[in-house]
Chains A and B, each alone.
Chain A
Amino acid sequence: MTLYALCFALFLVGLYGLLTKRDLIKIILSSGIMGYACNLMLVLFGYRRGGVYPILEPGREAAPMVDPLPQALVLTSIVIELGVTALLAALAIRLFQKYRTYDITKIRRLSG
């Protein structure tokens, strides 16, 4: 149970960064940290004590393997995280071009 609590604490560190930081780079890093915590927690749910990785080999048949279903879900999640990070970075660099700063309290005008 300590492992689940520590993973949730990692998620809360990311949430703290997202709520209080004022610089765009820190906000992007915080969303990355929250993504890591979610993926890790899903794979933690699927671990089986004494299990092996879910790939068959010619010498080894279906011994007690770990749960393959959370791994399939997390594979999709990791790929989408990268797409979202790329989109956030593109928006950040475009904002820098217009406002010459990364501070979100100075980026005020919404139109024009």
Chain B
Amino acid sequence: MPIETWLTFLLGFMILGSIVALEIKDILSSIVAIGVVGLAVSLAFLFLQAPDLAVVQFLFEIFALIILVRTFIRKDFHVMEKASSGRWIIGFTLIGLAAVFLLSLKVFRVLPPFGEPLMETSRYYLEHGAADTGAANIVAGIILDYRAFDTLGEVTVLLTAILGTLTVLRFRARDGKGGGR
């Protein structure tokens, strides 16, 4: 089967899974549905010949599930309370988003067709990547040698987010048997 068939099936499955995750009332079921959508994204990355991304997406998805389950599931709070906001807001939002979707179909006609990218910079990276950096994994060579400054920015953003999380949760380091809090 050609790859478009696989990807269309996976995308349809993802849209169905995300609608289920948003509409269902039980919290644990919606978190599990988001996990399934994330695994489908990892499968799509494998079909698109990106094994680096598939591994990283799968592992980070599991971690996000663990954090969400710890935050929202407890013994006395399992089902949500009432429905979402009023009918006018839902109606206007649906009409607006449908209009945006129909108008965007014109834009997708202008892009290069699926399967023939314009690889102007990437042609240089593919031909001279192994000789310049010495790495067999060209993606690792790009993020750590050609564009290492972007990786520095990403480390900074991750550090800021984690420090913000630890500060909001008022985390203090305790050494050994509970001394020095």
Determine the interface band of chain A, counting residues with CB < 8 A from chain B. Answer: 35 or more
- B34 to A, closest residue via Cβ: A29
Q: How far is the CA of A13 from the CA of B48 in the complex (A)?
A: 23
In the complex, the answer to whether A80 meets B15 with C-beta atoms within 8 Å is: no
Determine the interface band of chain B, counting residues with CB < 8 A from chain A. Answer: 35 or more
- B4 to A, closest residue via Cβ: A3
In the complex, the answer to whether A62 meets B115 with C-beta atoms within 8 Å is: no
Q: How far is the CA of A39 from the CA of B137 in the complex (A)?
A: 20
Contact of B115 among A20, A47, A71, A101 (CB under 8 A): A47
Indicate whether B105 reaches chain A with its CB closer than 8 angstroms. yes
Complex A-B: 21 CB contacts under 8 Å: A1-B108, A9-B15, A10-B18, A12-B100, A13-B18, A16-B94, A33-B21, A36-B37, A39-B57, A47-B117, A56-B138, A57-B136, A65-B138, A67-B119, A68-B125, A68-B129, A80-B154, A81-B64, A85-B67, A89-B67, A91-B168
Given A33-B21, A54-B137, 13 further pairs, Cβ under 8 A: A16-B22, A20-B89, A25-B68, A28-B68, A33-B37, A43-B45, A47-B49, A62-B130, A71-B50, A75-B143, A79-B154, A83-B161, A87-B165
